[in-house]
Copies of this chain bind each other. A is one copy, B any other.
């Protein structure tokens, strides 16, 4: 699957994905840009039924977590590097917010590179944004120590579905020449008009008894109440892991 044809795959064949293949793809993925060539990431590879069962509720029991042959949790990791500094009489100062963001950035670039390579190899992937919804749970489940933090989870397997590609916004509406140009109200309405017109989105509005698609997002899918509660949990987890 080329990047232009890419789609999320949530159903996988009951066929293993060899550890060697996954590690080869990860090795190539590590060619991504990385700050100061520090490679501030680790990957936790979950293959056992027990491991998947522990992770599943942390990802709202999305079925991919238990049905995928491999679940990869991508972890921002300043621990390994800091330990090397400690062993070298070097005074590491990476227990702060900037260092978290630097490590998270390294990790996400590496993660996206892995996804591209996996899809090129015929595998299907699903990116679970839920990883940062309950980081404390993931940290406990995977024994993540200080100066590490989970930022992404990818389920991987051989595709057993071929869904339609979802819509995307017009790229011209996302690119700004020289400085940010705030769109006027009519332009904002136009940008999202196609998305609102899609039958599946009209269906979401109807079954949720909402007036429009935006309300499905704000009132059902990504609510202020949930976002604020999860932001509190995220801050607590950043403290817990030593990044604040």
Contacts and interface: CB of A to CB of B under 8 A. Distances in A.
A5 B113 CA distance: 13
Interface in A63-120: 75, 79-81, 83-85, 87-94, 96-99, 101-102, 104-105, 108-109, 111-113, 115-117
Contact of A8 (B33, B101, B152): B33
A209 to B, nearest CB: 14
A211 interface: yes
A145 to B, nearest CB: 6
A169 interface: yes
Contacts of A172: 23
Contacts of A102: 129, 132
A228 interface: yes
Contacts of A225: 93
A192 B37 CA distance: 12
Contact of A112 (B32, B99, B189): B32
A75 B181 CA distance: 13
A176 B28 contact: no
Given A47-B177, A116-B113, A172-B23, A188 B91 contact: no
Closest 10 CB pairs of A and B: A93-B224, A88-B214, A90-B214, A33-B127, A112-B112, A96-B231, A27-B171, A90-B218, A108-B108, A143-B179
Interface of A: 3-6, 8, 23, 26-33, 35-39, 41-48, 51, 75, 79-81, 83-85, 87-94, 96-99, 101-102, 104-105, 108-109, 111-113, 115-117, 125-127, 129, 132-133, 141-145, 148, 151-152, 165-169, 171-180, 182-183, 185, 188-189, 191-192, 195, 211-215, 217-219, 221-225, 227-228, 230-231, 234-235
Given A98-B234, A142-B180, 16 more contacts: A3-B28, A3-B116, A6-B32, A23-B171, A31-B165, A39-B169, A42-B174, A47-B177, A47-B178, A84-B189, A87-B189, A89-B215, A90-B219, A94-B222, A109-B111, A113-B116
